[in-house]
Amino acid sequence: MAQETESKWLSRSRRNALLVLLGLVVAALAIWLFTGGDEPARERGRGRPPATVGTAKAALTDMPVTLSQIGTVQPVVQATVRTQLAGVLFSIDFQEGQTVTKGQRLAQIDPRPYQLALSEAEGNLARDQAQLNAARVDLQRYETLLKQDSIAAQQVDTQAATVKQLEGTAEANKALVGNARLNLSYTAITAPVSGKVGLRQADIGNYLTPGDANGIVVITQTSPIDVSLALPQDKVPAVQARLREGAELPVTASDQYADKVLARGLFLTFDNVSDAATGTVKAKARFANAEGNLFPNQFVNVTIVVDTLKQAVTVPVTAIRHGAQGDFVFVLTPEQTAKLQLVKLGPSDGTRTVVASGVKAGDTVITEGADRIDDGASVNLPGQRAPGGEGARGQRGEGEGQRGERGQRGDGEQRQNRDRQAP
């Protein structure tokens, strides 16, 4: 019984092995037919077809040398308008967001107490001046009597001292009148600078004092306006060298996405110290801002044109590749092969890049499809027909012709057989 079981197991194993072997043979035959079994092995072993690539010419272009940083808009002057006297806010003479000029009246506190103080000072001054005039008349009379030897000289001296005392009192009262008049003028609160007013911080009827932190309103000068930025300290010498030459460095302020130019201006100055923590130096650029696109505390992208390279060799940025040996491009040879060429790069404007060495003007560089080629690889240009395309179509045509001939022969033999079988 055991021998019979073992025999069945061996028979089943052989049958399974034969089935597996037959499957492998069928698979190999299918692969051979699919890959073109009628072609020589050396034809099947050829490499992949040439890749189609895009190209561009290396050209001579004026390339600006720029520095780009993020900056913060700062007003040239920002003044908080406060009252210089204590009092009740009597009127507000501006609208929020209005542009005002220096000296324009913005508000007024109750002037009546200060008008009364001025009247009191003027009254005291008038009284003192009257007393002074009377003392001067008496002094003249005493001097005349002294000449007639009618009074003692001591009385004349005493009267002269009285005149001097009253003159001092009158001068002090003049100062009090001037101070009262000045306080009265302070009740009219005027703009210390020209600019744009913000939102008001006080309402009519509020009691104001000079110590109020918020004041009445804030005025910012928006035209012109500055942008503060920080430049790396290793870039500062190049900018300073251009400034010493007397050059005006154009500056562009763009929005946060660097898509839209908001304003154009000029580089202004550097700070006198560098930040040891960040290795940067603060700088300022000034913009006319006539259209008001820049507003205080706004973040902008700042681009400074430090210099311009005249007629430099440039290539599209898409032609630049990076590898273990450094930066390189693929140059298209006359034989239509790709040659790997190491290059030394210069400034870039985001579209084209300066090539300081490695490529000359007029060279054709590969800009698209470079990731599918190697040094020395053959390439196709857009619109070119791939090599072997016509041959392949010809082979397919010959095969179809052979199949047609075999079909015609088969049809003829079938007709002959039917003719022989006919009675």
pLDDT at 29 (0 to 100): 72
Does residue 407 form part of some domain?
no
Q: Residues 105, 26: one domain?
A: no
Does residue 46 form part of some domain?
no
**What's the number of domains the chain is made of?**
4
Does residue 317 form part of some domain?
yes
pLDDT confidence tier of residue 410, bands split at 50, 70 and 90? very low
Q: Residues 302, 207: one domain?
A: no
Please say which residue of 287, 308, 329 terminates a domain.
308
Provide the CATH number for the domain around residue 333. 2.40.420.20
What integer best gives the mean pLDDT of the chain? 83
pLDDT digit string (tens) for 257-269? 888 999 999 999 9
pLDDT at 48 (0 to 100): 63
Please say which residue of 170, 194, 218 terminates a domain.
218
Q: What is the Cα–Cα distance from 201 to 236, expressed in whole angstroms?
A: 42
Identify whether the C-beta of residue 265 lies closer than 8 Å to the C-beta of residue 231: no
How many H helices and E strands in the chain? 6, 23
The percent of the chain in helix, strand and coil, each rounded to the nearest 5, is: 35, 35, 30
- Tokens in use for 42? 């050396």
Q: What is the Cα–Cα distance from 159 to 141, expressed in whole angstroms?
A: 10
pLDDT at 65 over 50: yes
Q: Specify the DSSP element, H or E, that contains 301.
A: strand 299-316
pLDDT at 37 (0 to 100): 47
E strands, 221-260, in order: 225-232, 250-254
Residues β-bridged to residue 171: none
Q: Residues 110, 166: one domain?
A: yes
318: which DSSP letter?
G
Q: Residues 250, 232: one domain?
A: yes
Does residue 147 form part of some domain?
yes
Question: Is residue 24 helix, strand or coil?
Answer: helix
pLDDT at 21 over 80: no
Q: Residues 161, 231: one domain?
A: no
Provide the CATH number for the domain around residue 263. 2.40.30.170
pLDDT digit string (tens) for 356-409? 999 999 999 999 988 888 888 999 888 776 554 444 443 444 444 444 444 444
Q: Residues 142, 240: one domain?
A: no
Q: What is the Cα–Cα distance from 35 to 33, expressed in whole angstroms?
A: 6
Does residue 30 form part of some domain?
yes
What's the mean pLDDT in 107-114? 94
pLDDT at 222 over 60: yes
pLDDT digit string (tens) for 294-313? 989 999 999 999 998 899 99
Provide the CATH number for the domain around residue 178. 2.40.50.100
Identify whether the C-beta of residue 177 lies closer than 8 Å to the C-beta of residue 122: yes
Q: What is the Cα–Cα distance from 181 to 420, expressed in whole angstroms?
A: 144
pLDDT digit string (tens) for 332-350? 999 989 999 999 998 888 8
Q: Residues 106, 228: one domain?
A: no
Q: Residues 333, 268: one domain?
A: no
Does residue 256 form part of some domain?
yes
pLDDT at 215 over 60: yes
DSSP 44-104: HT--PPPEE-EEEE-EEEEEEEEEEEEEEEEES-EEEE--SS-EEEEEE---TT-EE-TT-
Q: Residues 243, 210: one domain?
A: no
pLDDT at 413 (0 to 100): 47
Does residue 331 form part of some domain?
yes
Q: Residues 200, 271: one domain?
A: no
Q: What is the span of the domain harbouring residue 176?
A: 78-218
pLDDT at 389 (0 to 100): 46
pLDDT confidence tier of residue 45, bands split at 50, 70 and 90? very low
Q: Residues 147, 86: one domain?
A: yes
pLDDT confidence tier of residue 412, bands split at 50, 70 and 90? very low
pLDDT at 127 over 50: yes
Q: Residues 303, 320: one domain?
A: no
Q: How far is CA 25 from CA 32, 34, 39, in A?
A: 10, 14, 20
pLDDT digit string (tens) for 224-279? 999 999 999 999 999 999 999 999 999 999 998 888 999 999 999 999 999 999 99
Does residue 397 form part of some domain?
no
- Tokens in use for 329? 């491009």
